[in-house]
Amino acid sequence: MSPLYAPEQPDLNWQHPDVHAEFESILRFWFDRGVDGFRIDVAHGLAKDPELPDLPPPPDTAHRQPLHHVQHPHWDRDEVHDIYRAWRKVADEFDGDRAFVAEAWADTPERLAAYVRPGGLHTAFNFDFLMASWDPKDLRTVIDDSLAMLSGIGAPATWVLSNHDVMRHTSRYARKTVARWVPNERYQPQGAVDLDLGTRRARAAALLMLALPGGAYIYQGDELGVPEVEDLPESVLEDPIWERSGHTDKGRDGCRVPIPWSGQATPFGFSPEDAYAAPWLPQPATWNQLTVEAQTGDNTSMLELYRTALHLRRENPALGDGTMTWLDTPVGVLAFRRDPGFVCVVNLSGEAYPLPDHSSVLLASGPVEDGVLTPDQAAWLAV
């Protein structure tokens, strides 16, 4: 039987009461010291089928339904929620806002919502949004399903575009065809890379995500527009997936390259230039254009787009928690209103789209001329 994790990551037996007691004591130890909460890695993977059966044959991906729950011997089992209900009771013993954030991959919105039911965890990353293709119908379905399922149990929605386990969305969106994929299967990009296209779409996706009701998680480097490093030499790969796959799957190192902070050459301020060792993964030389230093003060940069969007999100009473209403638009365009007086428009079509009536453009992912939104662009409007 092969392990699920690296040797340094013990996979504990949660059928043993001593494991439960030990973890609850650890939670109390840190809550006593004032920590605000915990992010739970692989939150869907604690409970196992006690018989430890072999995995079934992999599904036929050509015919598999993307949003269909598949019973699994060690992923997203119902028993895992007993653990989190006990943890929630521990958190509730302490004053203040203590929170658990689940990294939980689930097949369907219903399965994800189970983690944040009353008495369970506080919030969970919404990977359905991350896994959606660059398609208005797909994105709207994910948004509607997520909001409906979570509002039904009184839990906040969350949105995320990238993380440390998946290809960065700047590079996913850099393909003409952006495939949707299903949990527990590696993403396979299709076609040549066009980073100008990927960056345009990533800018628009940021404004879409930050305009939605609920919370948003930003993976380090998203705010710089950092792409996936897809040409790392085999000699530097660190991800255990590379060895376990028999050198057929390069793994996740491409999204884990250290982000650039300053300067014109590696390590771009990530570590001192005279440091004993270089960063564990090499940074592309072209990242000198993506450093925090280079982007700061440049109103056309990804970093300043994020900074402005986050400032407006904090200041605008229409954003954050609350509801949204879809507006009628042509095929290929998404638009929704949030009260008071805010509209987000995203043009995913191949044609220019005249913006609806508005008093001002609060923010746009690219230039807006003559009130027209070009393809792969988004705008926030005051109405």
Tell me the per-residue pLDDT of 340-351, one tens digit each, with 9 for 90 and over: 999 999 999 999
DSSP state letters, 39-99: EETTGGGS---TT-PPPPPPP-TTT--TT-----SSSS-TTHHHHHHHHHHHHHTSSS--E
Q: What percent of the chain has pLDDT over 70?
A: 96
The pLDDT of residue 273: 80
- How do 325-326 and 333-338 pair as beta strands? antiparallel
Average pLDDT over residues 127-148: 94
User: At 184, is the pLDDT very low, low, confident or very high (cuts 50, 70, 90)?
Assistant: low
Q: Which long-range contacts (CB under 8 A, 24 or more apart) does 325-332 make?
A: 326/140, 327/356, 329/353, 331/136, 332/136
Confidence of residue 162 (pLDDT cuts 50, 70, 90): very high
Local structure of residue 243 (DSSP, 8 states): H
Evaluate if residue 38 carries a pLDDT over 80: yes
pLDDT band at 331 (very low <50, low <70, confident <90, very high): very high
Across residues 10-17, what is the average pLDDT? Answer: 92
Are 360 and 374 spatial neighbours (Cβ–Cβ below 8 Å)?
no
Alpha helices in 126-244 (DSSP H): 127-131, 136-151, 169-172, 195-211, 240-244
Nearest to 5 by CA among 99, 74, 87, 60: 74
Residues 6+ apart with CB under 8 A from 202: 161, 169, 170, 173, 222, 225, 302
312 pLDDT above the threshold of 70: yes
Separation between Cα atoms, residue 103 and residue 44, nearest integer Å: 8
Q: From residue 25, how far is each of 28, 40, 165 by CA, in Å?
A: 5, 16, 30
Residue 158's φ and ψ, nearest 5 degrees, are -135, 155
Question: Is residue 81's pLDDT more than 90?
Answer: yes
Residue with tokens 């040409």: 231
Residue 34 has pLDDT above 80, yes or no: yes
Query: If we measure between CA atoms, which residue out of 200, 219, 224 comes closest to residue 292?
Result: 224
φ, ψ (nearest 5 deg) of residue 372: -115, 130
CA-wise closest residue to 229 among 212, 201, 250, 206: 250
Query: What is the arithmetic mean of pLDDT over 116-145?
Result: 95
| Overall CATH class of domain 17-322 | alpha beta
266 contacts: CB under 8 Å, gap ≥ 6:
278, 279, 282, 283, 285
pTM: 0.93
Confidence band, pLDDT 50/70/90 cuts, at residue 143 = very high
Element (H, E) at 221: none
As a whole number, mean pLDDT of residues 182-198 equals 85
Helix axes 17-32, 80-92, angle to 10 degrees: 30
Confidence bin at 1 (pLDDT 50/70/90): very low
Mean pLDDT of 361-376: 97
**pLDDT range class, residue 71, cuts 50, 70, 90:** confident
Task: Give residue 63's pLDDT.
Answer: 47
What DSSP element (H or E) covers 353? strand 353-354
Output the pLDDT for position 68: 61
Single-letter amino acid, residue 148: A
pLDDT at 3 over 80: no
Q: How far apart are CA 305 and CA 323, in angstroms?
A: 24
Confidence (pLDDT) at 172 = 95
End-to-end CA distance of the chain: give it in Å, rounded. Answer: 60
Strands 377-382 and 342-347: antiparallel
